[in-house]
Structure 1
């Protein structure tokens, strides 16, 4: 029996190498996932590292419709990161590509490998601003106000 597609949101970010190209390639990699359709993606944003060091990040959020389960989707996202040369030498290290599963339909999941909704998404302008671009009903003015002090600018 084929499962119905679930709407999921994925945050993309990079701050090593050609970060703009890395995020664009990450969006294209989402389009190529099995049993998944890229619905839309936000504009790209430049943001200062948050709880991290290194150069500015390029960030975006993509909406997908997928028939994959959340654990399978997470594995696919991590495979995309690995193909982009992602290394994890320490927590919040600079990265060639980072893909975070923000929301997976209305699911609430908490395991060692995956927590959905993403536990820190409401603390991050680099998630909330692009998410509001593509899914304004999911982000409240109060949430945006809470992150208004974080530097974020749209990339031309």
Structure 2
């Protein structure tokens, strides 16, 4: 089993229920065991078209026997089941699932770069990760330290229950 971190986001439709469904679908996928799920963060869009709705974001820790590209394919199947389209880069979406880390794997693969190439500068990933795993590290740097330095961190807040 390999420990992995995924980041999920949604800014279209029933955002919270879509994220919950995606987490459940990941947990029901053969070869995946969800270990921890962060609180949901409300975040402003980063990049992409102006005037997008706010995102709901979370991260989750899972263990898997799937290879990296198999894990990515499982994530993309769940995205497709929720009608995810890729028409505009960083555009609005029903759900986005990114593989942030896959164990200690470092890869420059053109399909799946690991760790995720922008994870260290994205408050919408780093802040919920630091809530879930306060001692987490990314590339030898505390995630909380990276979160404090990320440009979008001031706009990240916990979803009110």
Report the TM-score when normalising by structure 2: 0.90
CA distance in 1, matches of 2:158, 2:65: 31
The residue number in structure 2 matching 1:59 is 57
Aligned residues of 2:105 and 2:114 also touching (Cα < 8 A): yes
CA distance in 1, matches of 2:122, 2:152: 10
Tell me whether 1:155 sits opposite 2:159 in the alignment.
yes
The residue number in structure 1 matching 2:119 is 121
Aligned residues of 2:124 and 2:152 also touching (Cα < 8 A): no
Alignment gaps of 5+ in structure 1: none
Report the TM-score when normalising by structure 1: 0.93
Tell me whether 1:143 sits opposite 2:146 in the alignment.
yes
Deviation at 1:134, TM superposition (A): 2.1
Q: What are the superposed Cα offsets for residues 96-154 of structure 1, whole Å, 9 maximum, x if unpaired?
A: 00000000000011111100100000111110011112222224243122026530110
Aligned residues of 2:79 and 2:95 also touching (Cα < 8 A): yes
CA distance in 1, matches of 2:156, 2:101: 22
Give the counterpart of 1:81 among 79, 82, 92.
Answer: 79
Which runs of 4 or more aligned residues in structure 1 lie more than 3 Å from their structure 2 counterparts after TM superposition? none
The residue number in structure 2 matching 1:6 is 2
Give the counterpart of 2:46 among 46, 50, 54.
Answer: 50
RMSD: 1.2
Q: What are the superposed Cα offsets for residues 45-78 of structure 1, whole Å, 9 maximum, x if unpaired?
A: 1000011231000000010000000010000000
Alignment gaps of 5+ in structure 2: none
Give the counterpart of 1:106 among 91, 104, 116.
Answer: 104
CA distance in 1, matches of 2:133, 2:105: 17
The residue number in structure 2 matching 1:19 is 15
CA distance in 2, matches of 1:149, 1:21: 24
The residue number in structure 1 matching 2:66 is 68
